[in-house]
Each structure stands twice: as C-alpha cells, then as structure tokens.
C-alpha cells in the first residue's frame, strides 16, 4: 500500500480535536425539544448511517457518519458511542477524521470485524469528489482499512481496494465477514452503465483482496446504486440487503426518497446468490435508511437503521443536531420476511408502566390516556374481529394546538397508518403497513421519543419508523375511534415512560 493511498494531508488527532471543539460549540446552543432520550444521536451535528457495528472487548460499539461542523450532511467523520448492555450508552471520542489524500472529502460508511490479530479492523470508503468540489462529475471512491486495539484510537492502513474504472461513479460501503477461513467483503457499485450492483471480494490476510463476483445486480435499470449493502446468514438462509437509489414509488411501497430493503435466498462460498423471495422494505415508515446488521456475542443478528430525514423541512436542523438511529432490533426469519423486534434489553428502560386494562370506545369516542409524555413505550391489542369502528388508534404527541401524529388501524385500507397531517413542524404525509388479520387481533407496540415514533406491528412482522416533531406544550396521548357501525374494542393497553440511554447526562 503505497503513495498516494497513504499520503497524509493532516494529523488525525489534531483533526479529531478540531471536530470535537466544533461539536461542543454546536452543543452549547442545542435545543432539546426533539432531541432523543432513548435513541442514539450525536451530541450535536448531523449524523447518517450506522457504521462499524460490533462487539469488541466486552462492549458494543456503534460508530456513525457524522458532520461535526453543522447540522447538514457534509465533512464526513465517524462518531462513536459504546455500551456494555445495549441499553446504556457512553459517548466516546470521535473515531475517524479525513486525513489521507484518498479520503480528502470524507471518511464514508463501512463496517468492523475483529481481525485475525485480535484488533478491531474497520473497512470504510475513502471519498473524493472527482471535480474537487461536488458530485457533478461523480465520486472517486476506494475501500480503505484502519485498525484499533481499543475501539477508540484508529491507525489508518490506506487503500485496500482501489476503484478499477474511472467511469464508475459510486463505489462504496464495504461490509466484511469471515467464513471457513476466508474473509469476504461486499460493497455497492454503480456500473459505467449506471446499474446498481453489489460486488464481492475475498481475502486470506485481510489486506490483499481479490474480486470474486457480482453477487447481486438490481433488476430495475432505474436503480443506479445500492448503498450500504449487507449480506448475512439467518438460520439456513442468506439475506442480501441494500439501500436503493433510483427506486420509484409504487402503491404503498418505496415512498421515501431512497428506500432500504432485502431479499432472502441461498448462498454457498464460491457460488452465486440464489434469490428466493421478492424485495421487501425493511421498514414501512417515512424515515429509515442505510441499516447495518451485526452479530451479538450470543448469536443474535441485530440491526440499527438511520432515521433518514430526506424530505424537507427538517426542523431539527435549526436545533444544532440532526438525525438519530432506530432502537436496536433483533432480526429473525419469518417465512419469506424478516421479523424485526426491539431487542429485549430495550424494556429495561421502562418506568412506571400504567395499565389501562381493556377499553371499549363508542363510535367517534376518545379517551385521554396521558397528559404529557416525552417518551413512551405503548403496548396495545385491538380486537379487530369484534370492533366496528373504521379507524382505531392513538393520537401521539398531541398538543393543545391540536397537533398530533395518528397511529391507527384503518379498516378501509386494512392496514396500519401513521399519519402526520396534523403536524406543524416537519414533513407531513402518511405511510401504511400491511396487517395479517387472520387471528382477528392486532398487536401494536409504539415507541415514542421526543421527535420520533416507531410502530411495531404483530411482534415485528412489520415495523414503521417516522420522525414526528410535536408543537409547543405538553404532549398527550389520546385513544380514538372514528366512524363506522359500532364500537372499538381494545383488549389491553399499557404505557410506560422510558428512561434515558445515556450513561452521563449531556448537561
């Protein structure tokens, strides 16, 4: 690995110091009205993709794409938090700043593995603009490597896979694993013909990599890039997931600016991936992108997504920060789908759970449940078979102005709806998720934070993640039934407050 792959433009610790000072400056005036209590976010600045998710030396490590210099995308660094138990998180020093010539315009996304020498080894993309200023003439991207003995301080090793063709405009986001004595890497490529592909490389020694195959090519010619691909085994299957650029909305599907999903199939080392299912979205909400999975020490497959605020207005940007992760979720196989459930540890944040028992609401009836919930973990079961109301659900983040986000079952659609049309702040619009009604019951778990809502449907068969920025004043939760021939029957309903995930309070 020689020049210019390791040519240094700057000293990393000086760059990290400078970036940390900027975070501290932004933090001094951070407005906390929507800043999360129980989701990972940077102390200040912009974040996007989860990076380098791993378990190393007794702690979980979550790194993330970070702009320490403002609350918009740019100047990509890696921020870092860690946890012993997936519940309580510690802010760690910033991990990576651009210092090499090949990453002059950003240290982009990547993954982490514990290397053969026991060091935490990260693979990431060194990014440069071809024209030196913006994406108009494309990107010059190369896969790079860095190592660490503590997960905190990294030593860069430079480029391990250069971009083989200057007509390739996107070439990034390596995800690495080891199997049968061999290292595998997949990353996203936009080919000279603008097709979205995932390329696979292999290595014996973690430094020298050989092209193996195009392991996945998106069938839609409009999909020009597959960002943040991931490939992992689940029971006897393999899952390939990616964040597709160029996918067009159709019906209820793929309504976000960019959309993350997966296909399930079979794969053997040295062979092609055999796709066996349709493409499914990971999440049906407004804000979910660039998920990354990793394996917990007990074997569970876990995933964090980035709650992507793609559509303007993005009001948290005025508050000195922007972007949060979803809660950590466990991924399991459910037929031709993935089931995603908040990890069981998340329930350790529960406080003062209030049990409302079973509730019967008259047509167009309502019941105020909580006057002011900054955070909540709501569990409810609706008897669909016996209810006749047309919509049954909860107005969340309900303020005196009448602002709220509605999460309900809609009997006309036969789907769960998350509707933000009564929001003053942020993008509005609704998203829906399909519901299996065969049991006659609908089980919802709703995790509410100061600026977000996650809806877990029927134990994670579907899940929706959306920002919801409440207006001023107390934030109530109200149960509602709307229209229809008769009552709404709620078998059970309980609401807990959620404690903070941070080991040390920010202030």
The answer to whether 339 touches 478, Cβ cutoff 8 Å, is no
Please give the DSSP secondary-structure letter assigned to residue 21: H
Residues 464, 448: contact at Cβ < 8 Å? no
Of 318, 320, 374, 289, the residue nearest 43 (C-alpha): 320
Report in angstroms how near the CB of residue 262 gets to ligand FRU at its nearest. Answer: 16
Residue number with CB closer to ligand FRU (290 or 389): 290
Alpha-carbon gap, residue 325 to 468, rounded angstroms: 14
Q: Kindly write out the interface string for residues 279-298 of this chain, putting x where it contacts ligand FRU by CB under 6 A and - elsewhere.
A: ----------xx--------
Here the contacts of 124-128 (C-beta below 8 Å, separation 24 or greater) are 124/51, 124/52, 124/78, 124/96, 124/174, 125/171, 125/172, 125/173, 125/174, 125/187, 126/98, 126/100, 126/102, 126/159, 127/76, 127/103, 127/172, 128/101, 128/102, 128/103, 128/104
**DSSP characters over 224-239:** -EEEEEEEEEETTEEE
User: Does position 197 bind ligand FRU by CB under 6 A?
Assistant: no
The C-alpha atoms of residue 490 and residue 483 are separated, in whole angstroms, by 16
The one catalytic residue among 11, 24, 32, 49: 49
CB of 266 to ligand FRU, least distance (A): 27
Of 113 and 290, the one with the shorter C-beta distance to ligand FRU is 290
Task: Work out how close the CB of 225 gets to ligand FRU at its nearest, in angstroms, rounded to a whole number.
Answer: 8
**CB of 454 within 8 A of CB of 304?**
no
Nearer to ligand FRU, 290 or 479 (CB): 290
C-alpha dist (Å) from residue 490 to 297, 398, 441: 39, 20, 10
Verify whether residue 212 is a known catalytic residue: no
**What residues between 367 and 386 interact with ligand FRU by CB under 6 A?**
none
The residue within the footprint of ligand FRU, chosen from 76, 322, 447, 455 (CB under 6 A), is: 76
- Minimum distance from CB of 49 to ligand FRU (Å)? 5
- Compute the distance between CA of residue 162 and CA of residue 125 in angstroms, rounded to an integer: 10
Smallest distance, ligand FRU to C-beta of residue 425, A: 23
227 belongs to the binding site for ligand FRU (CB under 6 A): yes
Q: Is 326 in the site for ligand FRU (CB under 6 A)?
A: no
User: What span, in angstroms and rounded, lies between the C-alpha atoms of 72 and 41?
Assistant: 14
| Single residue of 112, 228, 389, 392 touching ligand FRU by CB under 6 A | 228
- Site residues for ligand FRU, window 331-360 (CB under 6 A)? none
Residue from 39, 172, 398, 487 binding ligand FRU (CB under 6 A): 172
200 binds ligand FRU (CB under 6 A): no
Nearest to ligand FRU of 222, 372 (CB atom): 222
User: How many residues sit close enough to ligand FRU to count as binding (CB under 6 A)?
Assistant: 13
Looking only at the bridges linking them, the beta strands covering 476-484 and 462-467 are unpaired
50 secondary structure, DSSP code: E
109 binds ligand FRU (CB under 6 A): yes
Our finding on whether 108 is near ligand FRU (CB under 6 A) is yes
Q: Residue 347 carries which DSSP code?
A: G
> For residue 403, which phi and psi values (nearest 5 degrees)?
-60, 145
Q: How many helices (DSSP H) and strands (DSSP E) are in the chain? A: 1, 35
Which residues from 125-154 bind ligand FRU, rule CB under 6 A?
Answer: 125
Residue with smaller CB distance to ligand FRU, 18 or 257: 257
CB closer to ligand FRU out of 228 and 316: 228
Binding positions for ligand FRU, 10-69, rule CB under 6 A:
48-49, 65
Q: Nearer to ligand FRU by C-beta: 81 or 307?
A: 307
CB of 432 to ligand FRU, least distance (A): 24
CB of 228 to ligand FRU, least distance (A): 6
Of 133 and 299, nearer to ligand FRU (C-beta) is 133
* Binding flag, residue 173, ligand FRU (CB under 6 A): yes
Ranges of H-type helices in 320-365 = none
Distances (CA, A) of 384 to 114, 252, 300, 362, 477: 48, 22, 33, 15, 21
Catalytic residue ranges:
49
Residues of this chain that bind ligand FRU (CB under 6 A): 48-49, 65, 76, 108-109, 125, 172-173, 227-228, 289-290
């Amino acid at each position: 690995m020689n020049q210019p792959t390791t040519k240094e433009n700057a000293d990393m610790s000086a760059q990290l110091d400078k970036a940390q000072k900027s975070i501290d400056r932004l933090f001094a005036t951070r407005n906390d009205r929507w800043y999360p209590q129980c989701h990972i976010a940077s102390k200040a600045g912009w974040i996007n993709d989860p990076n380098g998710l791993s378990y190393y030396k007794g702690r979980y490590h979550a790194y993330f794409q970070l702009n320490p210099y403002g609350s918009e995308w740019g100047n990509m660094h890696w921020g870092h938090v860690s946890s012993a138990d997936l519940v309580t998180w510690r802010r760690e020093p910033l991990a990576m700043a651009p210092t090499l010539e090949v990453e002059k315009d950003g240290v982009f996304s990547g993954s982490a593995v514990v290397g053969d020498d026991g060091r935490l080894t990260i693979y990431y993309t060194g990014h440069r603009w071809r024209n030196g200023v913006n994406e108009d003439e494309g990107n010059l991207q190369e896969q790079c490597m860095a190592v660490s003995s503590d997960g905190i301080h990294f030593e860069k090793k430079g480029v391990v896979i250069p971009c083989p063709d200057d007509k390739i405009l996107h070439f990034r986001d390596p995800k690495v694993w080891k199997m049968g004595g061999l290292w595998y890497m997949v990353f996203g490529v936009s080919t000279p013909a603008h097709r979205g592909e995932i390329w696979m490389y292999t290595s014996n020694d973690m430094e020298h990599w050989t092209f193996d195959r195009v392991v996945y090519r998106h069938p839609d010619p409009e999909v020009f890039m597959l960002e943040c691909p991931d490939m992992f085994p689940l029971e006897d299957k393999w899952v390939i997931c990616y964040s597709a650029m160029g996918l067009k909305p159709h019906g209820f599907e793929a309504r976000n600016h960019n959309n993350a999903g997966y296909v399930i199939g079979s794969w053997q080392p040295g062979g092609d991936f055999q796709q066996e299912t349709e493409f499914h979205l990971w999440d049906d909400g407004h804000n979910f992108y660039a998920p990354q999975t990793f394996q917990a020490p007990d074997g569970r497959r876990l995933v964090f997504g980035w709650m992507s605020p793609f559509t303007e207005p993005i009001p948290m940007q005025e508050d000195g920060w922007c972007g949060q992760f979803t809660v950590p979720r466990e991924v399991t196989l459910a037929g031709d789908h993935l089931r995603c459930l908040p990890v069981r540890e998340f329930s350790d944040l529960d406080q003062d759970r209030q049990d409302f028992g079973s509730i019967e609401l008259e047509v167009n009836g309502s019941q105020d449940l909580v006057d002011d919930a900054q955070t909540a973990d709501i569990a409810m079961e609706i008897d669909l078979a016996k209810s006749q109301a047309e919509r049954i659900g909860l107005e969340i983040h309900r303020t005196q102005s009448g602002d709220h986000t509605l999460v309900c079952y809609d009997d006309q659609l036969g789907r769960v709806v998350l509707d933000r049309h009564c929001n003053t702040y942020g993008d509005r619009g609704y998203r829906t998720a399909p519901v299996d009604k065969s049991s006659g019951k609908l089980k919802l778990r709703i995790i509410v934070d100061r600026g977000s809502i996650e809806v877990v449907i029927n134990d994670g068969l579907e899940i929706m993640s959306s920002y919801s920025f409440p207006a001023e004043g107390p934030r109530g939760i109200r149960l509602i039934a709307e229209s229809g021939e008769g009552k709404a029957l709620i078998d059970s309903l309980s609401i807990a407050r959620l404690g903070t995930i941070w080991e040390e309070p920010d202030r």
